[in-house]
Amino acid sequence: MLEEIDKELEKYSNKEKATLLQRFFKTGKGEYGERDVFLGLNVGQQRKIAKQFKNLHLQDIQKLLDSEIHEKRLIGLLILVEQFKKGDEKTREKIFNFYLRNAKKINNWDLVDLSAPNIVGVYLLDRGRDTLYKLVSSDNLWEKRIAILSTFTFIRNNDFEDTLKISEMLLEDKHDLIHKAVGWMLREVGKRDQEKLEDFLKKHYKKMPRTMLRYSIEKFEESKRQKYLRGEI
């Protein structure tokens, strides 16, 4: 089965696009995606391959997640999302635990964003959220991003409490990818309840990283947005 996936990857690989993706996903020495290898597939092509192999066993998905090739890891995650969506409670629990064991291998922002809300977020929607607080307390960038992105599912269900708590915990984080993720989730809260977002911002906006603030107020009317940016609220 894995050999068949390799053949599909070879069919769609594109050296020029791979070079562009290596730069876009910051794979240089000392950058967040260091050592990530791209073959040059687009997400649509990877979704197509994932659909073809949607019944792949977990032991083979593990091999995909262990790969240095970015597209293999994403295909593995897309298959997991599909299996989780179609699975019964026992299957979902198994996939959830498998996902968490592999969290450090979900090590670029697109990998997190396309999987965490659909597995971790959905699984925890009607359960306790202690797992998220363990993840957000990690020293690992990707575990922290999984924590905040998983709350996207809660936001879509008009449940904002954990998004706001986790955002507060990440206010002093140093990484731009966390600033963007938190700002994005806060913006999503604001799209559904601007008052709730503004209550949060009035407490914290003066110490928020600039990128986080800009993302969170992106949908505000321009005059109010400028007041926040100038620190006049």
CATH number of the domain residue 27 falls in: 1.25.10.90
Task: Identify the band that residue 225 occupies on the pLDDT scale cut at 50, 70 and 90.
Answer: very high
* Matching residue, tokens 């179609």: 86
Q: Indicate the residue among 83, 103, 123 that finishes a domain.
A: 103
Domain that holds residue 217: 115-233
Whole-angstrom Cα distance, residue 232 to residue 60? 55
User: Smallest Cα–Cα separation from 73: which of 61, 83, 81, 84?
Assistant: 61
Q: Indicate the residue among 79, 103, 127 that finishes a domain.
A: 103
User: Smallest Cα–Cα separation from 52: which of 103, 11, 17, 89?
Assistant: 11
Whole-angstrom Cα distance, residue 27 to residue 33? 4
Other Cβ atoms less than 10 A from the Cβ of 30: the count is 6
pLDDT of residue 53: 98
Q: What angle do CA 68, 74, 80 make, to 5 degrees?
A: 120
pTM strictly above 0.75: yes
Mean pLDDT for the stretch of residues 158-163: 98
Task: Identify the band that residue 169 occupies on the pLDDT scale cut at 50, 70 and 90.
Answer: very high
Instruction: Indicate the burial class of 194 (C-beta count within 10 angstroms; 0-12, 13-18, 19 or more).
Output: middle
Mean pLDDT for the stretch of residues 31-53: 96
Q: Are residues 154 and 233 in the same domain?
A: yes
Domain membership flag for residue 110? no
Task: Give pLDDT tens digits for 108-139.
Answer: 999 999 999 999 999 999 999 999 999 999 99
Q: Are residues 89 and 131 in the same domain?
A: no
pLDDT of residue 143: 98
Q: Are residues 122 and 183 in the same domain?
A: yes
Q: Are residues 91 and 148 in the same domain?
A: no
Q: Are residues 143 and 40 in the same domain?
A: no
Q: Are residues 65 and 140 in the same domain?
A: no
**Residue 53 near residue 1, CB atoms below 8 Å:** yes
pLDDT at 233 > cutoff 90: no
Domain membership flag for residue 226? yes
Domain membership flag for residue 131? yes
Mean pLDDT for the stretch of residues 9-24: 96
Q: Indicate the residue among 69, 103, 137 that finishes a domain.
A: 103
Q: Are residues 6 and 73 in the same domain?
A: yes
Domain membership flag for residue 108? no
How many domains does the structure of the chain reveal? 2
Q: Are residues 165 and 217 in the same domain?
A: yes
Nearest 10 degrees: Cα torsion 185, 186, 192, 197: 170
Domain membership flag for residue 127? yes
Q: Are residues 231 and 119 in the same domain?
A: yes
Tokens of 210: 């600039």
Q: Are residues 70 and 172 in the same domain?
A: no
Note the Cα 184 to chain centre separation in Å.
11
Domain membership flag for residue 158? yes
Task: Identify the band that residue 150 occupies on the pLDDT scale cut at 50, 70 and 90.
Answer: very high
Instruction: Indicate the burial class of 22 (C-beta count within 10 angstroms; 0-12, 13-18, 19 or more).
Output: middle
Tokens of 18: 């791979």
